[in-house]
Structure 1
Amino acid sequence: MSKDLMPVSSDNRDSKGLVPRWQEPFRPQFHFSPAKNWINDPNGLVYFKGEYHLFFQYNPYGKEWGHMSWGHAVSTDLVHWRELPVAIPETDHMIFSGCALVDWRNVSGLGVEEEPPLLAFFTAFDEAADRQTQHIAYSHDCGRTWMPYEGNPVIDLNKDHFRDPQVFWYEPDSHWVMVVALPQDHKIQVYNSPNLLNWTLQSEFGPFGNTGGQWECPNLCEVPVDGHDHTRWVLKIDVDKNLIGEGSGAQYFVGDFDGKSFSHQADTDGPVARLVDVGADFYAAITWSDLPSKHDSPVWIGWMSNHQSGKETPTDPWRGAMTVPRELFLWLERGAYILGQRPVPELETLRKQCRRHSDVQLSSGDVFELGDLAPNGAAEVQFELKGCEKGQAGLALTDDKGDQVLIAFDGNKGEVFIDRRLVGAAFHEAYPAKHSCPVREQGSIRFRILVDASSIELFVEDGRYVITDAHFLKANKRLGLFAKDCDAAWSDLSVYELASIHQG
């Protein structure tokens, strides 16, 4: 059998029941997904020698969670990804989440001659001993192969839950910083090191905010404030359940960092924890290290799935995908710093044909058909919505079975939402759900919607509000505008067909 053909049930299968790879049902067309098998957290994001590296939690043996190793893909533009062989395989321990960086000055001594090494920091899970410790591996060939550090583990607290290190350079005090989670204690530890090998505990953060599940995958970074010439520090912490409904999600705190401890922004009720993304399918995002100077803001990517239904998504021969890479920014609302996310501008290179409408006005009960999606199911929709002082108005994505997902504004509640409840049989009880967030802007609201074969990413008001949800609508999908119990107007409406990153 050709490696480019897969035995998958599909409307576009050939006479032998085979469908070309990358055209399977629900296959993402402009998001990274592995050719086959299970994927979850992004790991080891680093830029080195012209390549953006994306490592990720990966099961080389099937599309269920297990045998955790680091898969690997590279890109020169954050859009088109080339999957490489497994980078760090499971040995006598699983390779859990972590980070990677360039040791430019070879302070670790793990480099060769004048060539700086890549260092990966990850949690090693010894299943037999039920212990999680922090390990290092290093690479001399641009991340293709890795060698374990002989002094592993570099941190061992004799704990069964102690994971997900992030390491970065703190320039003001010229030392390295590690943040790492104590998941069941709902704490984030901060360590310092002069050489990336020897680590000293400096402080702990937490428990604050949501503690309904385990804390995981901390990410601490300095983020610029839109319209101002200063920055603040953002600490993102994932929670594996009971955050978005009963499912997983990400919360964040804004504050200050002195290289040793993080102090959060607080109000009269205590620490302020906010949601990074109010959709069901955004988790474990981490930022790239060593970005080139053209990036003015941190850039991260997340696992576009969740811990509630992610193990049952109806995809084959893979399971799981990443979000689009997103730039981070802060904006001020009533004196509070709020985290925003924008798709990286490189994604605009995928735009193809565009259908434009300068002005569409609908009364209650009206619909306006925008036409069918391209066969690959990939599109970008932008518009400005006015009116809708009550009721609902927005965009409907519908398949040939009549199942729908609504992406819209609710004037009664003053919130934007993605509603997946208008479906027939669902693969999981958590799938038919509505995810929403209040918006400050009411008179005119700007939508940017990225639709892929099995996902929707909604960015409102240039990324001030973000909702990410998977969808599993069937074939022959089409777009339309609707107004319910209101009059509404759409202006500056653009519908772009997006090219597949798998072509060429």
Structure 2
Amino acid sequence: MNTVAPTLEAYRPAMHYTAKDTWLNDPNGLVFHEGIYHLYYQNNPFGNVHSNMSWGHATSTDLVNWEEHQVAIPCDDIEEIFSGSIVVDHGNSSGLGVGGVAPLVAIYTSAYKPGSAHPGIQAQSLAWSIDGGYSWTKYSGNPVLTRNSPEFRDPKVFRYNGPAGSYWVMAAVEAHDFAVLLYRSDDLRSWDYLSTFGPANGTGGIWECPDLFELPVDGLPGTTKWVLTVNMNPGGPNGGSAGQYFVGEFDGVSFRSETTLTEGMQDPGLVDQYQWLDWGRDFYAAVSFSNVPDGRRLMIGWMNNWQYANQIPTSPWRSPMSLVREVSLAMVDGQPRLVQQPAPECTAESLPGPAQRVSLSGTVAVDGGAAVQLADVTFTPGTADEFGLVVRGATDGAAGSSGTRISISPGAGELVLDRTNSGDSGFHPAFPSVSKAPLRALDGTYSLRIFIDHCSVEVFAQDGLVTLTELIFPDPAQTAITLFSANGSAEALLQLVAVGQDNA
């Protein structure tokens, strides 16, 4: 537990977006338009717990500094506004543009309330904007797609241009069926069924928030594959909420996965072999931005877990977003793997400190720890069974005795994040945890890029082949960093980088 009572703002991130004084969860409607990135998100305008789902709104020109705006699409007596996406309708195929202005069209899930025309049903609806995404009008013909289902939601829409033609494609889920359903449309208002993918691989919880996009393999424009992401709650590899991905082909009608290990319901023995977006416990509902220039695929997730989301000790705000990540595909041992790196904008104004080369045989305290920073560290194994670092540790106690412990066990092939002694963890029994991810050496070394903030750590291992994201709630005074090895030797090359602005 914290030894110093934090102020209400002590845990507010310096590098991550939070709403000023309300609740947020899933990112929605991510779009780049006229030089501005728009981040919409599930928001309770009236409090800091999950309720009254509406679309909150923030904008940025650099993916780092975000300005919060008024609620974009509010709930009302008829519906709550669940997750969805936004497209720029360049050709005005929807007919919703005015005076030659291409509309932004939001496709969202209407969660209809008792007393409405569709009580208890989740269906897909439209709203549009002609002022760049700041004010929205609901389409009079809503809903535009319904299955009369209580769990049909989270439409992600994109423009398909391929051998099958040119049209809009929607990926949505039947959450309890572990199924991603694909539809097509010429005008965003009338939708025809194409195909269904799933169940497959992880099915330990309902499926939510899908995304489908094409990426070059190893950066080669002529060699592309399609990536289908789908989030799942619960059933993550380390408990609670998580996201998984599949890589394969999409022909404009059906997605065919090349990376499926389990057809139908998951095999418990294969969970550690499924392809997870993030192995940590606090990266969920991740989806990508549309209309980003130069073919970049940028993704952001909700940094929380439904096991304890309403209980994390922050006020008046609750829940941050992750850093924006740039994603790509690489072939690893003959298999396509998703690579995630923090968007370069996240470190554009960083100030690197001197590199410190440390020989380890036990625990070594290093200088330069801070509440908000980036730690770049490369470990070269020696004889040690385990090595790593402790971040946000106590400065007045035994080195490494408290904090968030990030370690590598070469023999087990594991990256481990232990937050059982990271600070305030008693607010929910599921929060104190030890999370593991598979990790192996590359060229004989292990590289970790760790973004440390007031209430989180995001670990990008081996140049983004493995990511692990978790919330922490340390004493604000705990800023120490220690390196360690166990049962032998190792070597570390550490560089601490000042990023963001500290709000403590």
Give TM-score scaled by structure 1 length. 0.91
- Runs of 4+ in structure 1 off by over 3 angstroms are 9-13, 266-273, 399-403
- Structure 2 distance, partners of 1:93, 1:237, is 24
**In the alignment, which residue of structure 2 is the partner of 1:80?**
65
Deviation at 1:310, TM superposition (A): 1.2
Deviation at 1:242, TM superposition (A): 1.8
1:189 is aligned to 2:181: yes
**In the alignment, which residue of structure 1 is the partner of 2:445?**
444
Q: Which amino acid aligns with 1:232?
A: K
Counterparts of 1:397-408 in structure 2 under 5 Å?
397=391, 398-399=393-394, 403-408=402-407
Q: Which amino acid aligns with 1:440?
A: R
Q: Which moved more, 1:93-102 or 1:124-133?
A: 124-133
Counterparts of 1:146-185 in structure 2 under 5 Å?
146-172=136-162, 173-185=165-177
- Structure 2 distance, partners of 1:45, 1:159, is 26
- Structure 1 distance, partners of 2:415, 2:274, is 20
**In the alignment, which residue of structure 1 is the partner of 2:113?**
127
**In the alignment, which residue of structure 2 is the partner of 1:4?**
none
1:370–1:481: 8 Å Cα contact kept in structure 2? no
Q: Which amino acid aligns with 2:488?
A: C
- Structure 2 distance, partners of 1:274, 1:152, is 36
**Residues 90-111 of structure 1 deviation map (CA, whole Å, 9 limit, x = unaligned):** 0120000000011001010000
- Structure 1 distance, partners of 2:500, 2:422, is 27
- Structure 2 distance, partners of 1:502, 1:480, is 23
1:138 is aligned to 2:128: yes
Counterparts of 1:60-459 in structure 2 under 5 Å?
60-91=45-76, 92-128=78-114, 129-172=119-162, 173-226=165-218, 228-229=220-221, 230-266=223-259, 273-293=274-294, 296-352=295-351, 354-363=352-361, 365-373=362-370, 377-397=371-391, 398-399=393-394, 403-423=402-422, 426-441=426-441, 443-459=444-460
Counterparts of 1:18-57 in structure 2 under 5 Å?
24-57=9-42
- Paired residue secondary structure (1:210): coil
**In the alignment, which residue of structure 2 is the partner of 1:489?**
491
- Structure 1 distance, partners of 2:326, 2:261, is 30
**Residues 288-320 of structure 1 deviation map (CA, whole Å, 9 limit, x = unaligned):** 111122xx4311100011111111100000001
1:10–1:25: 8 Å Cα contact kept in structure 2? no
Deviation at 1:423, TM superposition (A): 4.5
- Paired residue secondary structure (2:310): helix
Alpha-carbon distance change, 475 to 267 in structure 1, aligned in 2, over 3 angstroms = closer
2:384–2:485: 8 Å Cα contact kept in structure 1? no
Deviation at 1:196, TM superposition (A): 1.0
- Paired residue secondary structure (1:462): helix
1:252–1:275: 8 Å Cα contact kept in structure 2? yes
- Structure 1 distance, partners of 2:239, 2:470, is 15
**In the alignment, which residue of structure 2 is the partner of 1:466?**
467
- Paired residue secondary structure (1:413): coil
Identity %: 38
**Residues 142-194 of structure 1 deviation map (CA, whole Å, 9 limit, x = unaligned):** 11110011111000111110000000000111111000000011111000011
**Residues 27-85 of structure 1 deviation map (CA, whole Å, 9 limit, x = unaligned):** 01010101011100000001111110000000001001000000000001111100000
Deviation at 1:261, TM superposition (A): 0.8
- Paired residue secondary structure (2:346): helix
- Structure 2 distance, partners of 1:406, 1:12, is 22
Alpha-carbon distance change, 186 to 313 in structure 1, aligned in 2, over 3 angstroms = same
2:368–2:496: 8 Å Cα contact kept in structure 1? no
1:312–1:427: 8 Å Cα contact kept in structure 2? yes
Deviation at 1:417, TM superposition (A): 2.0
Q: Which amino acid aligns with 1:406?
A: R
1:417–1:467: 8 Å Cα contact kept in structure 2? no
- Paired residue secondary structure (2:345): helix
2:410–2:440: 8 Å Cα contact kept in structure 1? no
**In the alignment, which residue of structure 2 is the partner of 1:6?**
none
2:111–2:123: 8 Å Cα contact kept in structure 1? yes
- Paired residue secondary structure (1:431): coil
- Paired residue secondary structure (1:174): strand
Deviation at 1:439, TM superposition (A): 1.8
- Structure 1 distance, partners of 2:470, 2:428, is 14
Deviation at 1:270, TM superposition (A): 5.5
Deviation at 1:502, TM superposition (A): 7.8
1:389–1:411: 8 Å Cα contact kept in structure 2? no
Deviation at 1:283, TM superposition (A): 0.5
Q: Which amino acid aligns with 1:143?
A: G
- Structure 2 distance, partners of 1:386, 1:219, is 37
2:372–2:502: 8 Å Cα contact kept in structure 1? no
1:356–1:495: 8 Å Cα contact kept in structure 2? yes
Q: Which amino acid aligns with 2:224?
A: T
- Structure 1 distance, partners of 2:239, 2:360, is 36
1:218–1:237: 8 Å Cα contact kept in structure 2? yes
- Structure 1 distance, partners of 2:259, 2:58, is 39
Gap runs ≥5 in structure 1: 1-8, 14-18
1:388–1:410: 8 Å Cα contact kept in structure 2? no
- Structure 2 distance, partners of 1:62, 1:152, is 28
Q: Say how many residue pairs are matched.
A: 478
1:222–1:232: 8 Å Cα contact kept in structure 2? yes
Q: Which amino acid aligns with 1:340?
A: V
**Residues 381-429 of structure 1 deviation map (CA, whole Å, 9 limit, x = unaligned):** 1021101454221111114686311122112312112111234652221
Gap runs ≥5 in structure 2: 265-272
**Residues 467-501 of structure 1 deviation map (CA, whole Å, 9 limit, x = unaligned):** 0011111122211211122211012x210122329
- Paired residue secondary structure (1:468): strand
2:25–2:43: 8 Å Cα contact kept in structure 1? yes
- Paired residue secondary structure (1:489): strand
Alpha-carbon distance change, 93 to 318 in structure 1, aligned in 2, over 3 angstroms = same
